[in-house]
Structure 1
Amino acid sequence: MTLLSAFSIFVGLLLLWQSVIWIFSLPPYLLPSPARVAHAIVTRLPSLMTSLGLTAAAAAGGLLAALLVGVAIALLFAQSPWIRRMFYPYTILLQTVPIVAIAPMILLWIGPGLSAVTLIAFIICLAPIVANTTQGLISVDRNMVDLFLMHNASRSQVLLKLRLPHAMPSIFTGIRIASGIAVIGAITGELFAGSSRVGVGGIGYAIQYASAQLETDYLFALVLAATLLGFVFFFAVMFLDWYFLHHWHESARVVDQE
């Protein structure tokens, strides 16, 4: 039933799209029809898949690096309140850094290509993972901590057997937020960092080319591909969230009941 409803909404949006073109007599270079976009996807499928693969690799690499570094930073913050008070605000400031301002500097420092794009995706993904993981690690009930200490648990045991399992839902919340903006970060990076090879680049690089050539139908195809990639990242994280938590945490059990 859910799939039928989603398909009906999709068909309705396509009909609305086509109706706007008919009503206002819009030329294809302003708003191509769904049929023209579908034709562009079919005819340009090899180059579209190449761009999609490069963007996916950069976004996944940045997200994975942000997860590893972010969790490590959060573990350090959870172990030392002094370090957390000193450095936690600076990690949150990463969210306020305009990525379009530092992207040219990254390009200047390490050159164009996949490495620069991955670094930009990493920077944009790091803050939500650090913030959510840290909050989960330090939000453990004090009575549970005292219970562990009463049984002579070490700091590492409290961290790994109490705080880290307790923080798993918060960690996945951070990853879920970062998974969406990872694609945005990768595409933004590609708009500036471009490609290390002429004519070969990710979705952002291809968007620049299609826009310069007024290939609006292919431009729409690239936007749809980027949207689809964002959905894939998001639902992959949702599946991992359910897989690891549904046996014991209420947030995932609610999804099961629905």
Structure 2
Amino acid sequence: MTAIQTQAPAVDQEEMRRARSQRLERIGRWVVPLAIMVLAIWLWDRICVWNEIPQYILPRPGVVLQTLYNDAGLLFGSLLVTLKITFLSLLLAVIGGVGLSVLFAQSKWVEMSFFPFAVVLQVTPIVAIFPLINIYVDNQTAKLLLCAWIVAFFPILSNTTLGLNSVDRNLRDLFRLNGATRWQELWHLRLPAAMPYFLGGLKIAGGLSLIGAVVAEFVAGASGQSSGLASRIIEAGYRLNAPRLFAALILISLTGIVIFLVLSLVSHLILRRWHESALKQEG
């Protein structure tokens, strides 16, 4: 009886220590990056002051924020143009990547025949492909959309294909023993099993679609009121308007972070009730 009583407080202390460690980890996950970010911004400001760096070379953070506020109409209008290309290319990448992955899963011959072409598109720099797109495509929006789609397409295709081919063989044999057709096996077994892989590829493709849209705008050299953020960066660079250039860069970075967080939340909401990775996060 005494041994049991002595053991119980030790277990309770261990549980309390573990809970305290988890609580500190949760707090530190947000506090530490924010503290480092604040320190980096402070150092940026001090470097500008200590070295008396001109505004057209390296503006202070306050000047950048003021420019972001003053030029909000222009910059956010350009952001909407970039976001339109980003989300359209991501949507096309999802439709094309998942559709082609399903075909690959149904036929090894189709996968062996067409997957190398997808790899070629992925490894070829978009700046090398764009001159051909510029020759064959007349519409400016279609050019940008095609460039961004090429960048975002491969992660969806490769991850979903990997997920469809990673189903447990015993489960596949069980489906076949019970007389399931290939499409029933695909719908009820392979697609649910591939969902975590697809969502992982979607998070990667979300950032790549934004990068692809910005790079496409740089390569295309689009200008005018209907142009995206990349064109504002080019314009600000020509005019030595460093505050606007930095404001546009910060806007692009924040947009990429928001896209990643939203897609991560979508992934968690879909997987939280049944997949091991989301269950661990909740625990």
Length-normalised TM-score, structure 1: 0.94
Query: What's 1:9 paired with?
Result: 36
Query: What's 1:147 paired with?
Result: 174
User: Which of these residues, 149, 157, 160, is aligned with residue 122 of structure 1?
Assistant: 149
Query: What's 1:187 paired with?
Result: 214
Cα deviation for residue 3 of structure 1 reads: 4.3
Q: Alpha-carbon deviations, 1:79-100, whole Å to 9, x = none?
A: 0011112221221222211101
Query: What's 2:9 paired with?
Result: none
Q: What's the secondary structure of 2:224's corresponding residue?
A: coil
Q: Is the 8 A contact 1:183 1:230 kept in 2?
A: yes
User: Which of these residues, 88, 104, 107, is aligned with residue 134 of structure 2?
Assistant: 107
Query: What's 2:3 paired with?
Result: none
Read off the aligned partner of 1:221 and give its amino acid letter.
A
Cα deviation for residue 248 of structure 1 reads: 0.1
Cα deviation for residue 23 of structure 1 reads: 3.0
Name the CA distance, whole Å, in 1 between partners of 2:148 and 2:102: 22
**Unpaired segments of 5 or more residues in structure 2?**
1-26
Query: What's 1:226 paired with?
Result: 252
Query: What's 1:208 paired with?
Result: 234
1:250 paired to 2:271: no
Cα deviation for residue 110 of structure 1 reads: 2.1
Q: Alpha-carbon deviations, 1:13-45, whole Å to 9, x = none?
A: 210111221233221111110011011101100
Query: What's 1:238 paired with?
Result: 264
Q: Is the 8 A contact 2:81 2:226 kept in 1?
A: no
1:171 paired to 2:198: yes
Name the CA distance, whole Å, in 1 between partners of 2:139 and 2:74: 20
Cα deviation for residue 9 of structure 1 reads: 2.6
Larger Rg belongs to? 2
Q: What's the secondary structure of 1:120's corresponding residue?
A: helix
Q: What's the secondary structure of 1:198's corresponding residue?
A: coil
Segment drifting more, 88-97 vs 76-85: 88-97
1:93 paired to 2:103: no
Change (3 A) 1:194 1:251: same
1:43 paired to 2:70: yes
Cα deviation for residue 6 of structure 1 reads: 4.0
Cα deviation for residue 238 of structure 1 reads: 0.4
Name the CA distance, whole Å, in 1 between partners of 2:135 and 2:229: 21
Percent identity reads 36
1:158 paired to 2:185: yes
CA RMSD, Structure 1 to Structure 2 (Å): 1.5
Cα deviation for residue 4 of structure 1 reads: 4.1
Read off the aligned partner of 2:210 and give its amino acid letter.
V
Name the CA distance, whole Å, in 2 between partners of 1:233 and 1:113: 24
Aligned residue pairs total 256
Q: Is the 8 A contact 1:77 1:134 kept in 2?
A: yes
Name the CA distance, whole Å, in 1 between partners of 2:134 and 2:280: 45
Name the CA distance, whole Å, in 2 between partners of 1:222 and 1:112: 25
Name the CA distance, whole Å, in 2 between partners of 1:95 and 1:4: 37
Cα deviation for residue 235 of structure 1 reads: 1.0
Length-normalised TM-score, structure 2: 0.86
Read off the aligned partner of 1:202 and give its amino acid letter.
G
Name the CA distance, whole Å, in 1 between partners of 2:231 and 2:186: 44
Read off the aligned partner of 2:230 and give its amino acid letter.
G
Q: Is the 8 A contact 1:194 1:201 kept in 2?
A: no
Name the CA distance, whole Å, in 1 between partners of 2:194 and 2:169: 14
Change (3 A) 1:155 1:148: same
